[in-house]
Amino acid sequence: MSILKRIFKREVSSLPKNSSKEKISKLESERKNLLTLQEITTTLVSNLDFEDISQKIVDIMAKDLKYVQGMLFLINKKDNYIYCHTISETLFAQKAKKLLAKSFRDYHASFDAKNLIINSIFSKDIVIGKRLRDFLSPPAPEHFSNFAQRIARIKNNIFLPIIIKNEVIGGLLFCSRKKKFEEEETEILKTFTQQASIAINNAMMYEKIQSQMRELGELNQTLEQRVKERTKKLQEKADELEKFYKLTIGRELRMVELKQEIKKLKQKLEKE
């Protein structure tokens, strides 16, 4: 029996007999949330592939906490914008993709855009709001956000900034059919986001190292190719010099032979 299950049983047994079903239900909910968090943490720390991790981050939370949609947003520091990098693979996501004029990754929000995600990025605070368009528009068209909220019956949204070494690198947006995010649920999401930030940072560092290793390998190949080409050119020049030397020596030998023939001819003429 796991530690979490033992804690749950102990808490239930300690409740008064007249305790309401609501309290038991709450404990059961807490247990499920803790088990979900435990599963997520185990999954995240066992993987260093960034794309795989980012997909699992949004998929697990959307599935286990029964959210309509989960989205991972990342900041592009080079070009100063934030964009949606990964969305959970839900039926809603499949339908939403068909409604967009371009890939969701191609919708970029500049830092002067007026939406709740940008507000959260600058304040480093969690933001909760009922209207999806307040989070996504701009850059997504407002009519798309309104339509998506209506067909998915989204009643509440929460955005949690992902902070690494006191710097916001992105955030997580979860869309829910619940009218309210309970305090306990928000705490679970905060803890999860902290774990996600560690996993994302590790994956980014690993990806950076892998990229540097690939670049180093390509550089070595380039240098080897240049050395081969240089060696080939030097060899060709050496061969040309050798041919020229042999040709020069041959000419000199022929000149010596010619001089000897001329000398013999002179001697013969003198005798006559």
Asked if residue 173 and residue 62 are part of one domain, the reply reads: yes
Q: What pLDDT sits at residue 7? A: 47
Tell me the residue ranges of DSSP E strands in the chain.
69-76, 81-87, 108-110, 127-129, 156-164, 167-176
In which residue ranges of the chain is pLDDT below 70? 1-20, 241, 244-245, 248-259, 261-262, 264-272
Judgement on whether residues 128 and 3 belong to the same structural domain of the protein? no
pLDDT of residue 261: 65
d(CA 235, CA 219) in angstroms, rounded, equals 24
Q: Is 147 part of any domain?
A: yes
Check residue 245 and give its pLDDT.
64
On whether residue 79 sits in a domain, the answer given is yes
Q: Residues 6 or more apart from 27 whose CB is under 8 A from it?
A: 8, 11, 12
pLDDT at 110: 95
User: Is there a single domain that holds both residue 107 and residue 34?
Assistant: no
pLDDT attached to residue 249: 66
> Which domain, by its residues, includes 7?
1-46
Residue 72 in domain: yes
Per-residue pLDDT, 34: 76
**Could you tell me the CA-to-CA distances from 3 to 51, 68, 109, 248, 253 in Å, in that order?**
32, 30, 44, 93, 99
Q: In total, how many domains does the chain have?
A: 2
pLDDT reported for residue 80: 93
Q: What is the pLDDT of residue 159?
A: 98
